[in-house]
Structure 1
Amino acid sequence: MKSRHILVASALALALSACSQSPAPSAEPPVAAPATEAAAAPAPAEAAPVAPAPVASTGSKPATVADCTTTIEGNDAMQYNADSITVPASCAQFTINLKHVGTMAVNVMGHNVVVARQADMSGIAADGMSVTPEHIKPDDARVIAHTKMLGGGESTSVTFDVAKLKDGGPFKFFCSFPGHMSLMQGSLQVQ
């Protein structure tokens, strides 16, 4: 019985020593920490401020508008470069130029811009899901305007009457390619 205890104790000691082994030494010797706070050297009075770590932007990315026109870019990461468009009230018509700055084909990572009431977005996307390649149901009365679906490196535009944005909002622009609307959308207002 005594030899059994010795074997169990030896196995336990061996297991514990294996778990507590320190990692292999690195090429650089470890830097010893000061023994107490009092022994630590104070920071210089004129030390440069430390920049905070980058944080994901939650701010708005408004589109640049000039002469009743804006240009929106879509990329292979399912993103537009703008999340809002402010149409000047002085415009009778407004043009949205769309550039797909990615490289993926239209059937894999196609992008378009659809303008509609926010309340109609889900229905438009659901009804257009199986309509390839445009992913917009033909003659959908809920759609105020839309571009054709683009693949990487392509560009297109759509022009529409601003009067269609005056009543019944809020209005949005979005991509109707299946699954893209959750990331690719923005507000559209007239001011």
Structure 2
Amino acid sequence: MTRKPLVAPFLLALLAAAPLAAQAADNCSAELSGNDAMKFDKANIDVPKSCKTFTINLKHSGKLAKNVMGHNVVVTKTADIAAVAADGIKAGAAGDYVKADDARVVAHSSLIGGGESTSVSIPVAKLAGGPYSYVCTFPGHSALMKGTLTLK
């Protein structure tokens, strides 16, 4: 009687799982687009708990300049959106409409205009104890340009 080695099935299973691991690593970012109609293209972004850092890549799909229709993405607790946006207005365009050293802000991008892109990296460990949201803090945008971050 010939015995088949058990190593081969183990290696096959390991090789089959490799693409899934690579795919999981790829899920640590999301694409988000904002336009001249003051809308994000996503109302929710899922953040895998397995990620150490999660990146939101923001693209301004409109044509207007950042001093007229600028967009950013600011991550904060959902309950803090209004206060963070109000304090951001006071910070002005030079501060990307984000109050300096605001402890309520988990992460934020720079301000961009039409055709531009930016990104923001979020330490996933900071998303415990949510709920969290993302919002554009350009004056007048926070009422329409917001979405939720769901830790999964």
TM category (shorter chain) comes to 0.7 to 0.9
Determine the structure 2 residue equivalent to 1:101.
Answer: 61
Question: Retained in 2: the 8 A contact 1:165–1:189?
Answer: no
How many angstroms does 1:131 deviate by?
Answer: 1.9
The count of aligned residue pairs is: 126
Confirm or deny that 1:126 pairs with 2:80. no
Decide whether the 8 Å contact of 2:27 with 2:48 is kept in 1: no
Which residue of the partner structure matches residue 100 of structure 2? 138
Deviation at 1:132, TM superposition (A): 2.1
Residue type at the aligned position of 2:75: V
Are residue 67 (structure 1) and residue 31 (structure 2) matched? no
Structure 1 residue 115, shift from structure 2 partner: 0.3
Larger helix percent: 2
Report the aligned-residue RMSD.
Answer: 1.2
Superposed CA deviations along residues 104-137 of structure 1, whole A, max 9, x for unmatched, are: 0111100000000011111111111132211111
- The equivalent position to 1:172 in structure 2, one of 133, 144, 152, is 133
Query: Whole-Å Cα distance in 2 between the matches of residues 128 and 173 of structure 1?
Result: 14
Normalization by structure 1: what TM-score?
A: 0.64
How many Å separate the matches in 2 of 1:110 and 1:150? 5
SS in 2 for 1:89: coil
TM-score, structure 2 normalization:
0.80
Larger Rg, first or second structure (1 or 2): 1
Rounded to whole Å, the distance in 1 between the matches of 2:29 and 2:132 is 17
Match for 2:144: what amino acid? L
Q: Which has the higher contact order (CA 8 A, sep 6+)?
A: 2
The residue aligned with 1:23 is none
8 Å CA contact 1:116, 1:173 repeated in 2: yes
Structure 1 spans left out of the alignment, 5+ residues: 1-64
Q: Report Cα offsets for 1:127-175 as digits up to 9, x if no partner.
A: 11132211111111100000001100110111121011112x1110010
CA contact (8 A) 1:68 1:94 kept: yes
Kept in 2, the 8 Å contact 1:131–1:137? The answer is yes
